[in-house]
């Protein structure tokens, strides 16, 4: 047998491109059958790709009696995919054997699709008995060696072309008749958990009938398997199912269609097998603290708790409506958005921005996700007509601005999480066009607690740009193609991030026991996903490894602990022949390299970029994997034939690797002027009803307090307290998180009155029918009086023409008289902030904010906030509403509900107003006149006609009044029974204590000022 020189042409398709290296085998060969053992387990071959379908076989035979040679006399002897999954790390081998039975030379093609992000670590070819093996080298060194071989005619050039979703590895050989070739490639990837399921996708595209075709998968999960499914086979019409054998911690999946079952039809020579083999499974979880797996000096910490209350979301949908979105893409986007809006929870806040060359806001601030608001948003989206260019920069900055303003104004629940979802189908064409500048603008303006998620639609979108944009800002990206499945793919993507369960997570390990730990701080954890942390363990000097996780839940500060034996998995894994003994090391390396590449993209200096590149290169060479900074050389045994499997540069990369800026930087004028927040003084406000307790199984571990939107001055007494520390896990002795509280903790204080937070007891209130309580803090007295007027009358409470603030209350009568008296209550309260152009009406039915001709309403069944011109309206469901102006002046209105069929009583409101220095010296009204405290003397206290109600003489404003000692009710903390407030009661509608008569305080409308007395 004579073997001639080989000129090679191999194609590796990483990221978004294809590399091809061609080698040619010349002259005839004899007895080549003896050079190959065709019974080798698993061979994958590929010639010219032909699309088709397949059928499933339960036979293990190789069907050697059937002819599989095509019209071109090329025979695919075997095509095999073998995957071993060890604790979420998948090692996959694709192997083919193909023969050219023609008498002339032909091209044989090995074309394998590889999931994006997978690391290729080995490739071999056997041609005419010559085995080409691979090695991974530093890219420039590999290219230099390759260039030298090419100069001698011993190598071929690199061909690059664009690709779409998957990455391709392609080798094309021109071989003479009678030649047999074997290809084999190995790659590894972690399997990520999405929507409570691990999904492993294996492209199976033999291109022609194969004598032996097999997909073989072994799963080893020390945590235990809950289920294993194969929801999709690689063909349109499949007869039968794959064989699945499942044990407690292991499973085997086998798929072996016969040649007959591979045919499109009984007489067809083409295959029906062309598609993805999809495997799904999940593991058992017994502890919320996660699973800590230690093996061969490395640890992997898997964290995926469930059964937690979702956190409220503050979400902005930013939708590209440029001309390129016209047609099917826009229709699919509208359909997806309608479903997504329906899936928002009632305690979520949202708004919608759409952009082309301009940016439009459906609402210029967040609104509660009530049925009325989501229906209105759907109608708005349905009316969008795509046109114009694409201004991504301004759209994202506007969304960031809205969330920052909401945060600065205190309208965001501190337990909530904020996110932006960008939907776009192309590159920017209007405004800022430079992708690096857009990235810098977003990073500069976005807050650390905001996550950015990017959804790229279609074939033209720069997905790598969107991916970097998301990863730099606590989010992730996803790509869908513009077809009939776009809508369902969009909904599936949103479902992955629609249920935040925890935020501000920290994974802690003893520093003296671990090293080289991957990222251990995370902004959010979403239900159905999984957080993975890895590192090295000093197993020689420790027997156990402890972890402590801290996180914020919807109703508690969680402290979760777990403890693992460093040798706990040794017996199990060492006895399994399929388990990868280096799975912990490989997974640690995979996570570390990807995190380093992400850090490199964000590195601010060239020196730091070079340092990170050096780390990536060292790890890539040590673990023999191809990354953007290494290349794979494929060599013949004597080294005289050479091929290069290189990772090409990304022509669309926004921040080019190693790029330096020379000279002065260009002034940044791409940030619109409106992107500067109007306020930098955040309000510290917590709102919402008390959340449900955290459960571990059916055991209630504890219930955390919820800080209501009650300013500090509203609460009669200050009760110290804080978030409940809930400890879950097998042991708690080593957790030092202060005392563990069981049951309900005390409410903690929340101050909205920033100017004088110590005024927690200073309050003027009007409640019940209606009872006025005037607090005189300097003299440590409370003075009370009632106002008896007719239903429909409007009483002025605050009138300050200089500050342009008016507050009035309208009376409503009881259903009928009691003891010949018709009781009246406040049924409506109006707030007029004239300088801001804002009016707020609070009734027993709804809360309405009026901004000029537009108005926005909450029902009392909502919990949420609305902000306009620094007027913040926060509603606590069926309880109270707080109105805060400029973060300094706050008012609270409390709702009193009664039984609807009560024969006498009706629903009514109470109002609580702090004494504040924000009003002018000319402020007046039934309450406003007491903002400047009058001098009051009470003396000659004596017994009254009723026990416990003594009488006294009070001198005020030149009048001597007889007053009665009594008790009125403060309903802020207990809306049913109230809290007793001792006061001196002034009779006759406050006559003598008030300036003039109470009738002088009647005004014509809810927003009127008081005429001068």
Query: Greater confidence, 716 or 464?
Result: 464
pLDDT of residue 610: 92
Query: Greater confidence, 451 or 160?
Result: 451
Q: Is pLDDT above 90 for 994?
A: yes
Q: How large a percentage of the chain has pLDDT more than 90?
A: 45
Q: Which residues contact 806 (CB under 8 A, 6 or more apart)?
A: 796, 798, 799, 800, 830, 831, 832, 834, 1007, 1008, 1009, 1010
**H or E stretch covering 848:** strand 846-851
Average of per-residue pLDDT across 693-703:
25
Q: Is pLDDT above 70 for 31?
A: no
167-176, 323-332, 560-569, 779-788: least confidently modelled range = 167-176
Average of per-residue pLDDT across 703-715:
31
101-110, 202-211, 383-392: least confidently modelled range = 101-110
Average of per-residue pLDDT across 309-317:
94
Distances (CA, A) of 517 to 301, 530, 533, 535: 11, 17, 7, 4
Cβ proximity of 938 and 926 under 8 Å: no
What 3-state DSSP class applies to 180? strand
Average of per-residue pLDDT across 32-36:
34
Cβ proximity of 128 and 3 under 8 Å: yes
Q: Is pLDDT above 70 for 525?
A: yes
Distances (CA, A) of 34 to 38, 40, 61, 133, 1013: 9, 13, 22, 21, 116
Cβ proximity of 555 and 703 under 8 Å: yes
Average of per-residue pLDDT across 454-467:
85
Confidence class of residue 646 from pLDDT cuts 50, 70 and 90? low
Helical H segments across 562-691, by residue range = 570-574, 583-602, 606-623
What 3-state DSSP class applies to 532? strand
168-182, 651-665, 791-805, 830-844: least confidently modelled range = 651-665
What residues does 110 pair with on adjacent strands? 171
Q: Is pLDDT above 60 for 46?
A: no
pLDDT of residue 753: 34
DSSP character at residue 7: B
> How does pLDDT run across 262-284, given as a tens digit for each residue?
888 888 888 889 989 999 999 99
pLDDT of residue 317: 96
Distances (CA, A) of 395 to 83, 355, 671: 44, 6, 11
Query: Greater confidence, 325 or 426?
Result: 325
User: In the chain, what are the helix, strand and coil shares in percent, each to the nearest 5?
Assistant: 15, 40, 45
Q: Is pLDDT above 90 for 548?
A: no
Q: Is pLDDT above 50 for 64?
A: no
161-165, 825-829, 961-965: least confidently modelled range = 161-165
Cβ proximity of 969 and 981 under 8 Å: yes
**H or E stretch covering 143:** helix 139-151
What residues does 443 pair with on adjacent strands? none
- Measure the CA angle with vertex 44, ends 42 and 45; round to 5°: 150
**899's tokens:** 């039984």
pLDDT of residue 865: 66
Average of per-residue pLDDT across 461-478:
89
pLDDT of residue 266: 84
Query: Greater confidence, 168 or 401?
Result: 401
**291's tokens:** 């699973």
Query: Greater confidence, 970 or 292?
Result: 292
Q: Is 874 left (phi over 0), alpha (psi -120 to 50) or beta?
A: beta
Q: Is pLDDT above 90 for 795?
A: yes
Cβ proximity of 391 and 426 under 8 Å: no
pLDDT of residue 66: 64
> How does pLDDT run across 115-148, given as a tens digit for each residue?
888 999 899 988 878 888 888 889 888 888 878 7
Average of per-residue pLDDT across 305-309:
84
Confidence class of residue 692 from pLDDT cuts 50, 70 and 90? very low
Average of per-residue pLDDT across 336-355:
93
What 3-state DSSP class applies to 817? coil
Confidence class of residue 460 from pLDDT cuts 50, 70 and 90? confident
Confidence class of residue 14 from pLDDT cuts 50, 70 and 90? very low
Average pLDDT, the chain: 78
- Interatomic CA distance for residues 808 and 794, integer angstroms: 7
pLDDT of residue 62: 42
> How does pLDDT run across 823-861, given as a tens digit for each residue?
899 999 999 999 999 999 999 999 998 888 767 777 787
pLDDT of residue 55: 32
pLDDT of residue 218: 97
pLDDT of residue 873: 86
pLDDT of residue 1013: 66
Q: Is 334 exposed, middle or buried (0-12, 13-18, 19+ CB in 10 A)?
A: middle
Confidence class of residue 1009 from pLDDT cuts 50, 70 and 90? very high
- Interatomic CA distance for residues 127 and 698, integer angstroms: 64
What 3-state DSSP class applies to 337? helix
pLDDT of residue 50: 33
pLDDT of residue 876: 82
pLDDT of residue 869: 81
pLDDT of residue 405: 92
- Measure the CA angle with vertex 205, ends 203 and 206; round to 5°: 140
What 3-state DSSP class applies to 65? coil
Q: Is pLDDT above 50 for 61?
A: no
> How does pLDDT run across 2-11, given as a tens digit for each residue?
333 333 333 3
Q: Is pLDDT above 70 for 191?
A: yes
Q: Give whichever of 459-468, 532-541, 665-674, 731-740 has the largest mean pLDDT.
A: 532-541
What 3-state DSSP class applies to 790? coil
pTM greater than 0.75: no
pLDDT of residue 634: 84
pLDDT of residue 742: 22
pLDDT of residue 628: 85
Average of per-residue pLDDT across 516-541:
94
Confidence class of residue 394 from pLDDT cuts 50, 70 and 90? very high
What residues does 909 pair with on adjacent strands? 826, 895
pLDDT of residue 154: 60
Q: Is pLDDT above 90 for 157?
A: no
How many other CB atoms are found less than 10 A from the CB of residue 18? 20
- Interatomic CA distance for residues 916 and 345, integer angstroms: 37
Q: Is 183 exposed, middle or buried (0-12, 13-18, 19+ CB in 10 A)?
A: buried
pLDDT of residue 153: 66
> How does pLDDT run across 964-989, given as a tens digit for each residue?
998 888 887 776 777 888 899 999 99
Q: Is pLDDT above 90 for 165?
A: no
Confidence class of residue 555 from pLDDT cuts 50, 70 and 90? low
Query: Greater confidence, 672 or 958?
Result: 958
Average of per-residue pLDDT across 560-586:
90
Distances (CA, A) of 581 to 91, 577, 585, 641: 12, 9, 9, 34
What 3-state DSSP class applies to 479? strand
202 closest CA partner among 264, 147, 271, 275: 275
Confidence class of residue 42 from pLDDT cuts 50, 70 and 90? very low
Average of per-residue pLDDT across 738-752:
28
CA 219 from chain center: how many Å? 29
Q: How large a percentage of the chain has pLDDT more than 70?
A: 78
317 closest CA partner among 380, 272, 250: 380
Average of per-residue pLDDT across 183-195:
93
Q: Is 918 exposed, middle or buried (0-12, 13-18, 19+ CB in 10 A)?
A: middle
Confidence class of residue 647 from pLDDT cuts 50, 70 and 90? low
Q: Is pLDDT above 50 for 223?
A: yes
What 3-state DSSP class applies to 620? helix
Q: Is pLDDT above 60 for 676?
A: no
Average of per-residue pLDDT across 375-389:
93
pLDDT of residue 348: 94
Q: Give whichever of 467-481, 688-702, 903-917, 950-964 has the largest mean pLDDT.
A: 950-964
Cβ proximity of 752 and 759 under 8 Å: no
506 closest CA partner among 733, 730, 301: 301
501 closest CA partner among 548, 453, 558: 558
Confidence class of residue 947 from pLDDT cuts 50, 70 and 90? confident
DSSP character at residue 1004: S
How many other CB atoms are found less than 10 A from the CB of residue 904? 12
């Amino acid at each position: 047998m004579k073997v001639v020189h080989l000129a090679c042409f191999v194609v590796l398709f990483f990221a978004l491109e294809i590399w091809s290296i061609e080698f040619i085998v010349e002259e005839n060969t004899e007895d080549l059958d003896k050079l190959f053992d065709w019974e080798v387990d698993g061979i994958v071959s590929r010639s010219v790709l032909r699309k088709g379908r397949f059928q499933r076989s339960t036979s293990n035979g190789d069907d050697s009696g059937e002819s599989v040679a095509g019209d071109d006399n090329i025979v695919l002897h075997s095509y095999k995919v073998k995957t071993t999954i060890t604790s979420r790390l998948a090692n996959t081998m694709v192997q083919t054997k193909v023969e050219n039975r023609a008498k002339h030379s032909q091209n044989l093609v090995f074309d394998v699709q590889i999931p994006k992000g997978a690391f290729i670590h080995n490739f071999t070819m056997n041609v005419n008995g010559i085995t080409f093996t691979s090695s991974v080298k530093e890219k420039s060194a590999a290219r230099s060696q390759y260039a030298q071989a090419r100069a001698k005619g011993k190598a071929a050039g690199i061909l690059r072309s664009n690709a779409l979703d998957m990455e391709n590895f392609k080798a094309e050989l021109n071989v003479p008749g009678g030649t047999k070739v074997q290809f084999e490639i190995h790659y590894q990837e972690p399997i990520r958990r999405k929507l409570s399921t691990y999904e492993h996708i294996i492209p199976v595209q033999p291109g022609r009938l194969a004598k032996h075709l097999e997909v073989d998968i072994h799963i080893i999960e020390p945590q235990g398997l809950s289920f294993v499914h194969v929801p999709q086979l690689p063909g349109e019409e499949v007869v039968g199912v794959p064989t699945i054998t499942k044990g407690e911690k292991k499973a085997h999946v086998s798929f072996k269609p016969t040649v007959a079952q591979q045919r499109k039809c009984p007489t067809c020579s083409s295959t029906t097998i062309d598609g993805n083999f999809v495997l799904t499974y999940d593991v058992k979880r017994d502890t919320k603290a996660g699973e800590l797996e230690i093996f061969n000096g490395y640890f992997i910490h898997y964290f995926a708790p469930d059964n937690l209350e979702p956190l409220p979301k503050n979400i902005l949908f930013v939708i590209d409506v440029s001309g390129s979105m016209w047609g099917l893409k826009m229709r699919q986007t509208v359909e997806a958005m309608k479903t997504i809006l329906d899936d928002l929870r009632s305690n979520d806040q949202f708004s919608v921005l759409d952009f082309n060359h301009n940016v439009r806001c459906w609402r210029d601030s967040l609104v509660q996700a009530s049925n009325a608001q989501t229906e209105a948003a759907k109608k708005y989206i349905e009316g969008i007509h795509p046109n114009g260019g694409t201004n991504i920069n301004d759209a994202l900055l506007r969304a960031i601005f809205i969330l920052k303003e909401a945060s600065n104004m205190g309208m965001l629940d501190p337990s909530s999480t904020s996110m932006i979802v960008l939907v776009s189908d192309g590159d920017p064409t209007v405004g800022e066009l430079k992708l690096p500048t857009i990235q810098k603008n977003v990073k500069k303006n976005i807050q650390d607690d905001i996550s950015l998620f990017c959804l790229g639609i279609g074939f033209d979108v720069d997905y790598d740009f969107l991916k970097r944009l998301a990863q730099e800002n606590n989010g992730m990206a996803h790509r869908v193609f513009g077809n009939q499945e776009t809508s369902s793919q969009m909904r599936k993507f949103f479902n992955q991030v629609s249920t935040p369960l925890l935020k501000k997570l920290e994974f802690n390990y003893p520093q003296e026991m671990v090293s080289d730990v991957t990222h251990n701080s995370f902004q959010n954890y979403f239900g159905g996903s999984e957080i993975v942390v890895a590192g090295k363990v000093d197993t020689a000097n420790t027997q156990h490894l402890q972890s402590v996780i801290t996180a914020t839940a919807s109703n508690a500060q969680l402290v979760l602990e777990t403890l693992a034996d460093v040798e706990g998995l040794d017996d199990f894994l060492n006895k399994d022949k399929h388990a990868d003994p280096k799975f912990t090391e490989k997974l640690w390396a995979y996570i570390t390299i990807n995190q380093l590449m992400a850090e490199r993209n964000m590195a601010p200096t060239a020196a730091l970029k070079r340092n990170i590149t050096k780390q990536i290169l060292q790890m890539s060479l040590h673990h023999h994997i191809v990354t953007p900074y290494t290349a794979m050389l494929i060599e013949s045994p004597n080294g005289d034939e050479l091929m290069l499997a290189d990772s090409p540069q990304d022509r669309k990369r926004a921040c080019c690797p190693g790029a330096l800026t020379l000279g002065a930087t260009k002034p940044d004028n791409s940030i619109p002027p409106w992107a500067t927040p109007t306020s930098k003084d955040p309000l510290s406000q917590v709102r919402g009803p008390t959340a449900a307790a955290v459960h571990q199984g059916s055991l209630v571990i504890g219930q955390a307090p919820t800080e209501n939107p009650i300013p500090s001055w509203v609460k009669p007494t200050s009760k110290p307290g804080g978030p409940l520390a809930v400890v879950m896990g097998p042991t708690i002795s080593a957790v030092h998180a202060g005392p563990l509280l069981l049951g309900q903790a005390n409410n903690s204080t929340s101050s909205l009155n920033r100017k004088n937070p110590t005024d927690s007891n200073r309050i003027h209130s009007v409640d019940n029918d209606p009872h006025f309580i005037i607090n005189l803090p300097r003299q440590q007295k409370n003075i009370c009086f009632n106002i008896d007027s007719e239903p429909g009358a409007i009483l002025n409470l605050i009138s300050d023409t200089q500050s342009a603030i008016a507050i009035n209350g309208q009376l409503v009568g009881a259903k009928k008289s009691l003891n010949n008296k018709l009781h009246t209550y406040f049924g409506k309260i109006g707030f007029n902030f004239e300088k801001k152009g804002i009016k707020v009406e609070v009734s027993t039915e709804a809360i309405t904010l009026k901004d000029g001709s537009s108005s926005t309403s909450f029902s009392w069944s909502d919990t949420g906030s609305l902000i306009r011109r620094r007027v913040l309206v926060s509603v606590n469901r069926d309880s109270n509403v707080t109105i805060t102006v400029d973060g300094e002046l706050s008012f609270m209105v409390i709702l009193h509900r009664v039984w609807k069929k009560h024969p006498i009583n009706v629903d009514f409101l109470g109002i609580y107003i702090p004494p504040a220095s924000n009003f002018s010296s000319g402020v007046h009204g039934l309450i406003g006149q007491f903002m400047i405290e009058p001098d009051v003397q009470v003396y000659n206290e004596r017994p009254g006609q009723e026990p416990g109600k003594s009488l006294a003489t009070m001198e005020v404003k030149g009048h001597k009044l007889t007053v009665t000692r009594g008790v009125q009710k403060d309903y802020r903390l207990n809306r049913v029974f109230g809290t007793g407030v001792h006061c001196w009661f002034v009779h006759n509608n406050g006559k003598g204590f008030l300036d003039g008569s109470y009738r002088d305080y009647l005004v014509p409308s809810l927003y009127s000022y008081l005429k001068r007395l």
